[in-house]
């Protein structure tokens, strides 16, 4: 089934993660064939060529490379082997080993090996009881679970397409603002109700993890913040748990871009997000995850989609009147030369 007009749209391919790509494709005269609308899997077609896509993941990605980047344990081992700064981590196998790891590091993060969007993740786990609950929660999303040293920092994602730095975003945890009368539960419900259909995944979960996170701040669902008081309600910064996203492409630290560039070359995945936690005071940073199937969505999505389609169908660049914004920034011009140099064999350690 080919979709070429507004009347031919299908609900599953109308999510912002897909339309950011398909709208840019239509602008360029690239055809779209929907294979499975709800997944969504679709084919982009131009000048006799066809490329299968699942959002930003395409059939140009090798299965082994994707698995290596997407699996949190494998990606961590690979990054550690090449000297990149990563938090300490173990794969969960025995309760005793997990407890010993917690006792050593005092605070840990528990997450499924192969999930996305913050699903099943518990942050800043400090007690044995919470550790057991966090492991059980993560295992609902898959048998393989990792336990990681908790490190503090601001969440940055750097996005690369075809080896080139395209965009950077800062992700911050969900929060509500008090009015002096409403409980935190009511404020969350009110904020969730304002989320538009295109951002339905940006709602704050009213679950046990939010309750635990609030308790860490000495609060609960029934607490009433004073008027104007901003209250953080989650420890994860994912958009899919109500977090906020700000594009920081022009101001992101150039050293961070250079380090991410080396990671991208190492993994050799055409579209890759490199997630860092950056200490705001010391600027020390850790690589926490990689995203080989990242969502292309606002605020940086349009820019990423332009580069994505430049990569897949370079002959359609002429159909785009304006140059991509990311390449016009001073930072990207400054980094062009370093991005084209051969990869250094020097290891980076925290």
Helix axes 128-139, 95-105, angle to 10 degrees: 120
How far apart are alpha carbons 169 and 249 in whole angstroms?
7
pLDDT in tens, 85-106: 999 999 999 999 999 999 999 9
Is pLDDT of 350 > 60?
no
Please tell me which residue, 105 or 323, carries the higher pLDDT value. Answer: 105
Residue 258 CA to chain centroid, in angstroms? 19
- Going by the DSSP 8-state scheme, the letter that residue 335 receives in this structure is H
Q: Quick one: pLDDT at residue 326?
A: 43
What mean pLDDT, rounded, does the chain reach?
87
- Going by the DSSP 8-state scheme, the letter that residue 118 receives in this structure is T
Q: Quick one: pLDDT at residue 14?
A: 77
Is pLDDT of 22 > 70?
yes
Domain 88-150, what fold?
Answer: Dna Ligase; domain 1 (3.30.1490)
Q: Quick one: pLDDT at residue 200?
A: 61
Is pLDDT of 344 > 90?
no
The pTM (predicted TM-score) of the whole model is 0.84
Helix axes 208-216, 128-139, angle to 10 degrees: 150
DSSP string, 19-56: HHHHHHHHHTT-EEEEEETTTTEEEEEETTEEEEEETT
Strand-pairing partners, residue 108, are 125, 149
Residue owning tokens 């292309």: 296
How large is the average pLDDT for residues 231-254? 93
Q: Quick one: pLDDT at residue 328?
A: 39
How far apart are alpha carbons 261 and 34 in whole angstroms?
33
Strand-pairing partners, residue 135, are none
Side-by-side strand order, sheet with 57-58: 31-36, 41-46, 49-54, 57-58
Is pLDDT of 171 > 50?
yes
CA nearest to 235, candidates 211, 201, 251, 263 = 211
The domains of the chain are located at: 88-150, 174-234
What percentage of the chain exceeds 70 in pLDDT? 86
How far apart are alpha carbons 309 and 89 in whole angstroms?
36
């Amino acid at each position: 089934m080919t979709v070429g007009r507004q009347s031919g749209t299908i609900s599953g391919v109308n999510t912002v993660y897909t339309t950011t790509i398909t709208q840019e494709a239509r602008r360029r005269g690239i055809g779209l064939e929907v294979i499975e609308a709800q997944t969504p899997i679709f084919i982009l077609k131009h000048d006799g060529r066809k490329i299968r896509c699942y959002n930003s993941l395409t059939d140009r990605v090798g299965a082994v490379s994707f698995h290596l980047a997407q699996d949190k344990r494998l990606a961590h081992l690979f990054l550690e082997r090449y000297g990149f700064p990563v938090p300490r981590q173990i794969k969960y196998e025995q309760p005793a080993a997990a407890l010993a790891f917690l006792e050593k590091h005092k605070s840990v993060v528990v997450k499924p090996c192969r999930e996305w969007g913050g699903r099943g993740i518990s942050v800043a786990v400090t007690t044995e009881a919470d550790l057991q609950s966090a492991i059980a929660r993560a295992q609902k999303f898959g048998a393989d679970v990792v336990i990681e040293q908790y490190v503090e920092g601001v969440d940055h994602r750097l996005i690369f397409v075809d080896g080139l730095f395209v965009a950077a975003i800062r992700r911050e945890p969900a929060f509500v603002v008090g009015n002096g009368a409403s409980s935190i539960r009511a404020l969350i419900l009110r904020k969730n109700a304002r989320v538009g259909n295109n951002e339905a995944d940006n709602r704050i979960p009213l679950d046990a993890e939010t309750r635990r996170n609030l308790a860490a701040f000495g609060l609960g669902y029934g607490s009433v913040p004073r008027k104007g008081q901003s209250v953080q309600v989650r420890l994860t910064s994912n958009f899919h748990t109500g977090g906020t996203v700000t594009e920081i492409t022009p101001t992101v630290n150039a050293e961070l871009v250079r380090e991410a560039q080396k990671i991208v070359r190492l993994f050799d995945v055409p579209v890759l997000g490199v997630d860092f936690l950056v200490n705001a005071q010391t600027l020390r940073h850790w690589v926490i995850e990689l995203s080989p199937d990242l969502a292309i969505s606002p605020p940086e999505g349009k820019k990423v989609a332009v580069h994505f389609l430049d990569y897949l169908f370079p002959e359609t660049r002429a159909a785009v009147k304006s140059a991509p914004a990311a390449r016009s920034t001073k930072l990207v011009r400054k980094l062009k030369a370093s991005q084209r140099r051969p990869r250094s064999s020097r290891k980076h350690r925290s």
